[in-house]
Amino acid sequence: GIWAHLHLEGERTREWLRHNSGVPDIVSEALLYEETRPRCTPVGDGLLVNLRGVNLNPGANPEDMVQIRLYIDKDRVISVRRRRLMAVQDIRDQLDAGNGPRNSADFLVEVTTRLMERMGPVVGDLDDAIDDLEDRVLTRMDVSLRGELWQLRRQSIALRRYIAPQREAMARLVTERVTWIDPNVGQHLREIADRITRYVEDLDAGRERAAIVQDELTTRLSEQMNRNRPA
């Protein structure tokens, strides 16, 4: 198979996709859209797949998600990105070492797996941060904790807003019938879809816990103010 990895900003990318790639017009235009939500759409015997990964580029916020657009059929993979995505670099390194994906289906499993592997620690770190803040609220009263709680709730909401549509895209990907995805690959994709569902559930639980901790902090600060108020 052939893998073409393209940078969205380049004029040569637009020219090649529209005139030389051999893909249908609907595919080339979808790959060039400025903004896209995660999705999985069949086109003939191929798939248009838009996915997001957490932004681990230097100086970036993890919830500032990075997009990758894919067109995959039995014989080729075309990927388009605007910003660097480490999951793609992983696959490049594997191929350079002679042990990368062997076909289009393997590529699909590999890129979705790599995206999820990097998403997991970000969700886990957020959960740990809420745990830590919960303990600190119980042991000391500090108005500055309000700012930290607000930041954690904002991160949870932002991550969920970006990850939840990816759960829907992966669920669609699992149910699509294409000839080049065999049952073994389908099982791997189901496991990845299940993992995304757990991440969304973890983010929901974290957001609820942060709200409860915020209420507890507000109550304790109010009680402290009342105790300190002159009679």
Average pLDDT over residues 133-152: 77
CA–CA–CA angle 207, 221, 223 (5° rounding): 125
CA distance 23 to 179: 18
Average pLDDT over residues 102-114: 93
Cβ neighbours around 20 below 10 Å, total: 10
CA distance 189 to 171: 9
Judge whether residue 228 has pLDDT over 60.
yes
Q: What digits encode the pLDDT tens for the residues 37-96?
A: 888 999 989 999 999 888 777 666 766 788 899 999 999 999 998 888 888 889 999 999
Q: What is the mean pLDDT of the chain?
A: 86
Overall residue count recorded for the chain in this entry: 231
Percent of the chain clearing pLDDT 90 (strictly above): 38
CA distance 212 to 74: 50
Structure tokens at 125: 């770190």
Q: What digits encode the pLDDT tens for the residues 189-199?
A: 999 999 999 99
Instruction: Compute the Cα dihedral for 30, 31, 36, 41 and give only its sign.
Output: positive
pTM assigned to the model: 0.84
CA distance 64 to 44: 33
What is the pLDDT confidence band of residue 188, given thresholds at 50, 70 and 90?
very high
**pLDDT reported for residue 187:** 93
